Structure 1
């Protein structure tokens, strides 16, 4: 096959979720609605936390940063897909594609680290309540967020720079609605062993590390809660973790589903739909999980709604 190196390569073609053109208006409407709900829901979470002084705690600081991250995560992929459908052009330039790979990796990695940091916050709150304000002070919280961002950026830049070394064939169709790293590597005609090895190593350290942190945090949390003398104390402790556990289950559950789907099916369309579950669904549902399962968030959102209605 004829090769194109990265200097000659100008664009890729995103095949999207289906090749049935009759379904494109439905897909456009569905994704536009999901994007608007994702953005609005997460903005409401941020506004509610910033406007209520009782929520100016580490737990809600991390939640507001998670909401900002979710907005950015969705913005990297969905608007480009909507524009492509609207103008009936599925092309994406090489620079745009590389940028998508980088930013998807940054915000996906940031979500991973933030969930681990939030689990650590719950561990300190329940297992070390007397030292909570000392351990989770403002400086330490900001430091953890910045360190998470630094690791996410380093991981994303590493993968993006490794893509630059690849040469691509004339077949440049991506069976997805955005440039996913694994799909781009599959299109390469040059040796991709180093790229795949790097993905494995990064997943082990940058993915496995936070997962282990979350698991160990909850092992200690559960053991501490079970030692509590009253059922009311146990219920209160578990209720503070319920929303976070739901978000963790959604994020890692959809990611695991994508891995299983890719392993058991050769259908590119099914793989694209499965990948949509981890890139679109968690940012969409996270605000609902935290607002519906958290009493303090309900109160803050109620106050915010009252202020908005009063101003109108």
Structure 2
């Protein structure tokens, strides 16, 4: 697939859609059309993509103008978009459709496959708080693809042009992949928010903890999570853990976060054989 000869269309002018279109355009792909029901979103897309990309409120126009069509809407609407397009076209033979959900397989696009299209999914493993951050982050992202044979071949090439590296993944296993992404990204933010709430009581910001966070992530990147664990749990320091739990009285949510994650850390300590069984049971009882 030569990038200059493939016409790419995008359904959905949100952060993911605009950043995909922008990056592919920068890589020499012919991005022909982007569609959205939101006039504001289309205006924002125009600011990033320029005059040579058609903007439309009609998804079928995007399909007509492109060979490869990315459906970048929120997960909730992917199936509806697919069904709507399948109703408007008798045949979609020769077209390749993909969606950008991290949690769902290309089976969401079954109505389009029934019309003769090839289908797949492409997910950049990155967090996209806004369009500018999405464009910057896309270049560093690992991209995961799956789908039927024809779609997979095209998406592997798109992925190589979008991000740092591309991986194939089995469609039925995507939910576990997405769950892992939520744990390391979304729920990491929740943990840091919990720390912020506690720090408010002693008038401290989160900023002094950034070097600690960065060093921890660097250690995990270099050695893995298990050998990087430090702190009172892995040392078997029940007295400190007891003081932590005491300090969390009246903070039910933070206490539950601490208790649950400490039980995970305790399992890690057990795997590392850093404390004996008696201390493990003592710690487990304390955390119940």
Which TM-score band applies after superposition, normalised by the shorter structure?
Answer: under 0.3
Bigger helix share = 1
Highest Rg: 1 or 2? 2
Name the TM-score, length of structure 2 as normaliser: 0.26
Bigger strand share = 2
Q: Relative contact order: is structure 1 or structure 2 higher (C-alpha 8 Å, sep ≥ 6)?
A: 1
